Amino acid sequence: MLFIEFAKYLDKLETTSKRLEITDILSDLIKDLSTNEAAQAIHLTLGQLKAPFESQKFNIADKMMVKAVSQAYQLDESEVQESYNTLGDLGDVIINIKTQNKSTGETIDTVYTALLDIAQIEGKGSQEKKLNKLSELLNKLDPLSAKYVTRIILGTTRLGFTALTIIDALVVYLNGNKDKQLKTDIEFKYNVHPDIGLIVAKIIDKGLAGIQDIKMEPGVPLMPQKPQRLGTTEETLEKMNGTVWAEFKLDGTRVQLHMDRKKKLHIPLTETPLFGENMEDKIFVKTFTRNLDETTHQFPDIIQAAKEYINADSVILDGEAIGYNKETGEYLPFQETIQRKRKHGIEDAVTEIPLKYLVFDILFYNGNETITKPLIERRKLLNKLIKKNDIILANDNLLTTDPSALEDYFMEAKNKKLEGLVVKNPDSEYQAGARSFSWVKLKRLEGGESTQLADTIDTVILGYYFGKGIRASFGIGGFLAGVYDKKSKEFKTLTKVGTGLKDEDWVYLKEQCNKLELKEKPSNVEVAKELVPDVWVKPTIVTELRADEISKSTQHSVGYALRFPRLIKFRTDKDALDTTSTEEIEELFRLQSK
């Protein structure tokens, strides 16, 4: 397919916010794609080059893109910058200034290859090389194609859909209408191998049978299972048919660990090993976050321990990494643990913030998937694999049918200054990507805290307000927060927040929002006119909030609102689609009423 035809599809997608129209347009696009270009095109529609876990980034900022545009079209850089300041979008700047050029016949493949080459340039003089190749590419393209290439590079495509919408489009492509079982089959495969480009290519090639070739493998993270919420131990036991497997709920960072002793690990030339590792014979070990980002470089201590203390040829583990005080043994709060999330100074961080990796599940073992085995069997296998050590440990657990024993275990967690328990059905499979009642968060007991909502809520920032008084000096005085509704595939508003932030938090938030500022409302955000923020931002920044209570609301699009909300922390380990669900909000309202 010529890239100009692909750009026309992107333009159609941008001009509608209707979910069914978006699905139909994507389905038509899939029909027009060849097998060889399908993965490239689908990733580009999502503003990426590869699946998220492959971590292929452009690392090109607005300033460099302004230079590339001015160089490509032989314009003064200040002229381009002035137009950018006025229009707020470099893609629109190109449409305004580049009217004479016509397409030179670039295809999806040739443009994608050029973009990948640009992204992979590293080392000395890399910025200048990127600039030259980028301006050369822009000069070859017609205005519409150049507009979307620019937006893809800067991450400002604003098309308002996710991989889940593409799955809906695949159902239409295969069946012509809604087919719940067909969607379930494709979603299952995506959840255990979340590369939507690969899935589309396989379906174009062989139909639904094509995705049977896609298997779980070390190096490809699964979408994590997440817990639901219930209010009491009795209700939880009833949901689990009388027997529960309880584990301490840790306030750390979710880590999925992948190891394959028979697979070699490619090490970029820019990276150097820690702990005196041999570069010539490096075992494949990687870690990923709950939102599929690779974090291997952050956890050299866990990586080294995995090689020494996990007795398996290949394995995928799910667990929580949490910092601890070396003197007292107590676990550290999330905000201290998350300081390990840095690119530089890792050796110092390992010493300053030692970690324990508390594993609660095994998803793959020696070439075979284990997710379909009952939890109790998976844990028996897990316990056999981990040799005695101080870094990688199986998380504590309690198997019981007794409500009082469960309550005692809950109080033990609280005494350890932990959040509470995650209670699981011991006979359940691991449900990748699901939020089901086979896992339940228990953060309070009946008759517990009553002066405030007993649980926190994860939201995503949709925009911000300038504020008045002293906050006006920060350029921000409050923000609009929402949650992701999986059914409508939209972000819905839940609350406005203006408390719980220190001065440095406001400064940090303004800096982050500046990077994500949008000229107009994203098409997948539902908001009332009276709540429209002064500045829209790309839904990316996840915040954990606490409130006194949840109330019903006719103003907020989720149907509920938070009373006296305040920021607890920024959740840099979570994705915008991983907010508290609308169903959970309803459940929390029900529990609060009880």
Sign of CA dihedral 294, 299, 303, 305: negative
Tell me the pairing of strands 355-365 and 283-288.
unpaired
How far is residue 482's CA from residue 458's CA, in Å, rounded to a whole number?
A: 9
The SS3 of residue 308 is helix
Buried b (16+ CB within 10 A) or exposed e, 299-336: bbbbbbbbeebbebebbbbbbbbbbbeeeeeebbebeb
Measuring CA to CA, which residue among 267, 352, 592, 560 is closest to residue 453?
592
CA within 13 Å, CB half, 259: 25
Cα 561 from Cα 547, distance rounded (Å): 10
The tokens describing 381, both together, are 């296998």
Structure tokens at 43: 């990733």
Neighbour-count burial of 500, counting CB atoms closer than 10 A to its CB (0-12 exposed, 13-18 middle, 19+ buried): middle
The answer to whether the beta carbons of residues 291 and 575 sit under 8 Å apart is yes
Token digits of residue 504: 């440095």
180 is catalytic: no
CA–CA separation, 232 and 403 (whole Å): 9
323 contacts 340 by C-beta, under 8 angstroms: yes
- Rg of the Cα trace of the chain? 25
| DSSP-derived secondary structure letter, 208 | G
Give the closest residue to 163 by CA, choosing from 198, 113, 209: 198
Catalytic residue among 202, 249, 441, 443: 249
Report d(CA 482, CA 463) in Å as an integer: 10
> CA 355, CA 357: separation in Å to the nearest integer?
6
Structure tokens at 542: 């996840």
Catalytically active residues, by annotation: 249
